[in-house]
Each structure stands twice: as structure tokens, then as C-alpha cells.
Copies of this chain bind each other. A is one copy, B any other.
Amino acid sequence: MLDLAILGLLSEHELHGYEIRRRLRDELGLFTNISFGSLYPALSRLEQSGAVTVIGSAGSVSTPVPPTGSLSGDRAGLRVRRASAPRTGRRSRKVYRITDAGRTQFEQLFEADEPAGTDDARSFGLRLAFARHLAPPARLALLERRRTDLSRRLLVDRTRSCDSRLDQYTRSLVEHSAEATEHDIAWLDRLIDTERQKQRSPASPDGEPEREDALTAMKGIDP
């Protein structure tokens, strides 16, 4: 799941590890405080497998770093203390960029089932957070799959709540859980409805331009 999140973020911007962590926490909201002991090895793995590449150091997010790594450069910046220049990078950051192979892997991870034991709410939330990169039909499929899952869960909960052996606290828990699921389903239904309307009308209703080409469809670099 972490790989999916990393590749998703890197699909949008070139980032270094520390910043990836920040965004996972502040923007995505999933993975509240992912640990570095998990993040950095993941980045190493992705680099090893060719899903991402390291582009030198220096530039912050807003300044797309020029290609080809002048690898020796970051060590030089160590002595140079320029006061006037805009905030250049601190310590030697490793800025990552996603590759074509990485985008392919992102799509595969997106479609793949999570290993059992993962929190499906988080798993769905992560995918929804990247839904704007999807082609409309894939987006719709995501929402409908989630709806099916929740419907099944609701059925189980409703059945379970009929068990007369449940004590008052457990019963309250189950009933509240069922209500929450119903609420989730209603929300999904609104999203699905919106999606269907978007697909019917060719005009793009939002600022986001429609893209039909593929799952990925990257924007360029930062506006």
C-alpha cells in the first residue's frame, strides 16, 4: 500500500522522502506519520526495481530540477552559504522522479487486491485520492466496487445485530457500525451519481480537464 501511495505522489511531483512523508500526513491524511524506517527502504526498493529514479539534489518542489544528475554538485553547496538566494535545499536531498515502469506499476498496484489484513477504508481512501488521474470509467469502477463491498458488510452487520446473545454494548457497537456503513454507501451513491452525470455530458464541469487516454495521464510538472 505504501508503494502505491509513493508512486501516486510521485506521479504528480518530483519529491524527496521527507516531503513525501509530509504530504502523506498533511494532504492525503492516510498513513498519519508513516515512519522513515518504512519509507526510505520502500524508496530504495522502488529505485532498485526501476520504478523511480533519483534526480540530483537542490531544487525544491516548485523548481523542477534540470535533468542529468550533476551528482557532485550537492556536496559543493555545503560550503556555499548564500544569504540572498531563495531558499535552496538543505542537506543532500534525494529527489525522486517516477519512470514509465513506475507508472505501469502504479496502475497494477491500483487494480491489485490489497493483502488481507489491510484496512479497506484506508485502502479505498488512498485510491480515491488518486482518482483524478483515472479515466472516468475506471473511476466509476472504483466507486462501484467499494459500494459492493460495503453493501456486503452491511448485510453481515444487519444479520449479526439480530443475534439475541449480544450484550447491550456490543449490540450498540454493531448497530452504530451498520449505520455508519449506510452513511458511507449514501455518500458513495452521491459520488457515483456525479460521475455518471459527468460522463453523460461531454463538457467538463470542473476545472479539471477530462482525459480519456489512459489510466495514468500525467500532468506535466507543476503549474
Asked if A1 is at the interface (CB within 8 A of a chain B CB), the reply is no
Tell whether, in the assembled complex, residue A184 and residue B191 are in contact, meaning their CB atoms are under 8 Å apart. Answer: no
How many copies the complex holds: the figure is 2
Asked if A145 is at the interface (CB within 8 A of a chain B CB), the reply is no
Tell whether, in the assembled complex, residue B173 and residue A128 are in contact, meaning their CB atoms are under 8 Å apart. Answer: yes
Asked if A165 is at the interface (CB within 8 A of a chain B CB), the reply is yes
Number of interface residues of A (CB under 8 A): 33
What are 26 A-B pairs at a CB distance below 8 A? A26-B160, A27-B160, A27-B163, A27-B170, A28-B170, A29-B156, A29-B157, A29-B160, A29-B173, A29-B174, A29-B177, A125-B173, A125-B177, A128-B169, A128-B170, A129-B169, A129-B170, A129-B173, A132-B167, A132-B168, A168-B206, A168-B208, A172-B187, A176-B184, A180-B180, A180-B184
